[in-house]
């Protein structure tokens, strides 16, 4: 088996695939890339058993074969090469030799038969989404998902497809984000929970991509197909909590404020908050928002006043500043709206402007009890 390929083209593809490989694999074969050669087409795959991702590359060859190549060794070698053609040749003594303009490098390879096969989806349903839209949906929600091993359903992003729209939801019980696209719909209704790791990979690959992504899914797996790449991953098993029940419907108190100003103020004031609760207090009266924090143990306190547009009763409400900062950071609008009903009910944060047509983002942040 022998093929010739451009060094930078190969490196670029392998760096994407390498993102799925764990640092400590239970199966040693998973430390490798699987190279499957079929004349001019080389398919490279990487897997962590839960997720398998493969890309087709164009190479110069007239041969066929399948071997496993050590991923880390190959990536470290490729990073050092300037752009040039590399010749890969499988030798008799169980090594694969890479020939560059200046030298030769031999790596031990393993048999391609040992590499686990990707799951084949039986009778999947499918939906088509533009790459960039999917990447945006992931990045707008994934930060709100939880890390609790005892509640695995909350550690992923909930995909809810219907004939009207696509909805993506993430929550960790303290904060919740719901991202909706009304300009795209699925041919049939479906719900599944995607794990975080493959989503982070998709987010980085698809950002800015105008190519269509075909999403195929059944009860246990999902497959993403785009350009020359395919990714199959196991879904998180379980029922997602009824998030609609948590979103308060009646919120008579509405605050509209400049996002950057609010974010910077919360950041500054939170430095003076308690290191255990990260609690900040919002006191709203008339057209004035007062943000304060206090760390009683160290006698640190801070207070800032901002002007805002406010409709509703005067109120005081406490939030965890880290959650509030994360949410404000994740929005791109100039102004945000914070809707509240009572100091012990969740606040709803939404962007006032800067959204594409058909796009809605609703963020929910749970309040903390104020100690007066």
Each residue's pLDDT tens digit, 15-34: 999 999 999 998 999 999 99
125-130 sheet: strands from edge to edge: 110-111, 64-70, 32-38, 41-47, 51-58, 229-234, 221-226, 212-217, 125-130
pLDDT tens-digit profile of 289-333?
A: 999 999 999 999 999 999 999 999 999 999 999 999 999 999 999
What's the pLDDT at 372? 65
Contacts of 193 (CB under 8 A, 6+ apart): 153, 156, 157, 158, 159, 235, 236, 238, 240
Give helix 196-206 / helix 131-141 axis angle, nearest 10°. Answer: 130
Which three-class secondary structure state does DSSP give residue 199? helix
Residues 224 and 292 grouped into a single domain? no
What's the pLDDT at 134? 97
> What distance in Å separates the CA atoms of residue 28 and residue 21, rounded to the nearest whole number?
11
Residues 284 and 316 grouped into a single domain? yes
Residues 53 and 110 grouped into a single domain? yes
Residue 265 has pLDDT above 80, yes or no: yes
- Residue 230's H or E segment, with its range, is strand 229-234
Does any domain span residue 38?
yes
Q: What is the mean pLDDT of residues 230-256?
A: 95
Does any domain span residue 120?
no
Does any domain span residue 298?
yes
Does any domain span residue 119?
no
In contact, 60 and 32? CB cutoff 8 Å: no
Residue labelled with tokens 């490196």: 11
User: Domain ends where: 245, 262, 277?
Assistant: 245
User: Domain ends where: 205, 223, 245?
Assistant: 245
What's the pLDDT at 370? 84
Domain of 361? 253-368
Residues 107 and 11 grouped into a single domain? yes
Cross-strand partners of 249:
none
The angle at the Cα of 266, spanning 265 to 271, to the nearest 5 degrees, equals: 105
Give helix 259-270 / helix 321-330 axis angle, nearest 10°. Answer: 150
pLDDT tens-digit profile of 82-115?
A: 999 999 999 989 999 999 999 999 999 999 999 9
User: Domain ends where: 220, 245, 270?
Assistant: 245
Catalogue the E-assigned strands of 166-208.
Answer: 166-171, 175-181, 190-195
In contact, 126 and 214? CB cutoff 8 Å: yes
What CATH number has the domain bearing residue 227? Answer: 3.10.150.10
CB atoms within 10 A of CB 148: 12
Residues 84 and 25 grouped into a single domain? yes
Residues 226 and 316 grouped into a single domain? no
Residues 197 and 217 grouped into a single domain? yes
Residues 347 and 280 grouped into a single domain? yes
- What is the number of helices (H) and of strands (E) in the chain? 6, 27
pLDDT tens-digit profile of 144-171?
A: 999 988 899 999 999 999 999 999 999 9
2-6 sheet: strands from edge to edge: 2-6, 85-90, 95-99, 104-108
> What distance in Å separates the CA atoms of residue 337 and residue 340, rounded to the nearest whole number?
10
Residues 96 and 129 grouped into a single domain? no
Residues 143 and 179 grouped into a single domain? yes
Number of domains in the chain: 3
Residues 223 and 323 grouped into a single domain? no
What's the pLDDT at 149? 86
Residues 176 and 233 grouped into a single domain? yes
In contact, 250 and 208? CB cutoff 8 Å: no
Q: 345 phi and psi, to 5 degrees?
A: -110, 155
- Average pLDDT of every residue of the chain: 95
What's the pLDDT at 135? 97
Does any domain span residue 330?
yes
Does any domain span residue 163?
yes
């Amino acid at each position: 088996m022998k093929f010739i390929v451009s060094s930078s083209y190969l490196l670029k593809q392998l760096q994407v695939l390498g993102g799925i490989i764990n640092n400590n694999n239970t199966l040693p074969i998973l430390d490798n890339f699987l190279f499957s050669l079929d004349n001019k087409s080389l398919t490279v795959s990487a897997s962590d058993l839960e997720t398998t991702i493969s890309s087709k590359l164009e190479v110069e060859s007239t041969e066929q074969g399948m071997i496993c190549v050590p991923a880390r060794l190959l990536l470290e070698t490729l990073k050092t090469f300037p752009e040039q053609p590399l010749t890969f040749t499988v030798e008799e003594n169980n090594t694969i030799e890479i020939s560059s303009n200046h030298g030769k490098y031999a790596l031990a390879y393993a048999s391609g038969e040992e590499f686990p096969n990707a799951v084949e989806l039986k009778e999947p349903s499918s939906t088509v989404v533009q790459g960039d839209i999917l990447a945006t949906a992931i990045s707008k929600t994934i930060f709100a998902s939880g890390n609790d091993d005892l509640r695995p359903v909350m550690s992923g992003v909930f995909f809810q497809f219907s004939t009207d729209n696509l909805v993506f939801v993430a929550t960790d019980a303290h904060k919740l984000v719901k991202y909706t696209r009304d300009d795209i719909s699925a041919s049939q209704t479906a719900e599944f929970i995607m794990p975080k790791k493959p989503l982070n990979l998709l987010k980085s690959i698809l950002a800015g991509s105008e190519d269509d992504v075909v999403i195929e899914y059944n009860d246990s797996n999902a497959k993403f197909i785009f350009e020359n790449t395919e990714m199959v991953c196991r879904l998180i098993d379980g029922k997602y909590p009824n998030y609609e029940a948590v979103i308060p419907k009646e919120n008579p108190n509405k605050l509209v404020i400049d996002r950057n100003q609010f974010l910077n103020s919360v950041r500054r004031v939170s430095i003076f908050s308690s290191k255990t609760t990260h609690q900040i207090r919002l006191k709203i009266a008339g057209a004035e928002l007062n943000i304060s924090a206090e760390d009683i143990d160290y006698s640190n306190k801070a207070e800032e006043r901002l002007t805002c547009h406010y409709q509703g009763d005067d109120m005081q409400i406490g939030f965890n500043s880290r959650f509030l900062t994360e949410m404000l950071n994740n929005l791109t609008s100039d102004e945000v709206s914070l809707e509240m009903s009572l100091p012990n009910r969740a606040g709803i944060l939404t962007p006032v402007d800067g959204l594409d047509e058909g796009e809605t983002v609703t963020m929910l942040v749970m309040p903390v009890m104020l100690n007066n």
